[in-house]
Amino acid sequence: MNHYYVYITTNPSRTTLYTGITNDLERRLIEHYQ
């Protein structure tokens, strides 16, 4: 069974929200903050 995650994150100044769906949350967060 595949697991998927819905995430909400923000930029460092907390002025923009980003939402998405991924099956690898750790990888996606690393990509977002690079």
Residue 28: what pLDDT?
87
**Exposure string over 19-28, b if 16+ CB within 10 A, otherwise e:** eeebeeeeeb
Q: Give the pairing of strands 5-10 and 17-22.
A: antiparallel
Domain boundaries, the chain: 1-34
The answer to whether 17 and 10 are in contact (CB under 8 A) is yes
Task: List all residues 6 or more positions away from 11 whose beta carbon is below 8 Å from its beta carbon.
Answer: 18
Residue 3: what pLDDT?
92
Looking at the chain, which runs of residues are DSSP E strands? 5-10, 17-22
What would the pLDDT profile of 1-34 be if each residue is shown by its tens digit?
889 999 999 988 999 999 999 999 899 888 877 8
Instruction: Look at the pTM and tell me if it is higher than 0.85.
Output: no
